[in-house]
Structure 1
Amino acid sequence: METISYIAIIIGILSAIVILLDVFINPQQMKIMNIVWPINGLYLGPFGIWAYWKIGREKKKQHSGETSNGKSHHHSESKHESKKRGKTLLAKCFCFYKPLLQRLHSW
């Protein structure tokens, strides 16, 4: 059992180091996440690395300004679309937390 513990600790430390090196190269937008992601690597191991690469690492945007047919594709999201997306997110959160709040209120 002791050997398994040492292996788990070594895997966690290596995972944290991998994440830490990448955080130094590609710092997070929220500075606290530069600390949080390596800590996640300590206790999650390889799953922490996977989560960091899928969720925590910002995607590199390829932006040349032109499409293959030579036309410009610069556009921005309208205020209407932004408000609509915000209302949809709020509705999803409300639908998720409403049953929980009802149960807590009934206590």
Structure 2
Amino acid sequence: MHELSLATALVETALWQAVQAEAQQIVSLKLRLGTWAGVDAEALRFAFSLVQQDTIAASAQLVIESVPAQFRCQTCGQQTPPPLLAACSHCGSDRWQLQQGRELQLQSMEVV
């Protein structure tokens, strides 16, 4: 369950930022999570609920924005969501690059 180590890093980062802002409490964290990031959002929520205990983030809400995967044809630039076809419908190329969907980013946090 690597979500526990991710939640730990998330809370540690938020706590560090809160100390820098001289905050008394972390109210919420907004996370961007790509659908191809290899992270189970519900497992991350559960791990977060464990790690946030006994910190100034104890009552913080974790808001997860799901970022859908998007691919781009490396030949013609055509963009498409998964599932991928073997060949680009625009130019016939089979050269694809993942443009988005692997994000794991603390986008913002609210503190008081």
**TM-score above 0.5, yes or no:** no
Q: TM-score, normalised by structure 1?
A: 0.25
Ranked by relative contact order (alpha carbons within 8 Å, sequence separation 6 or more), the top structure is 2
**Which structure shows the higher strand fraction?**
2
Larger radius of gyration: 1
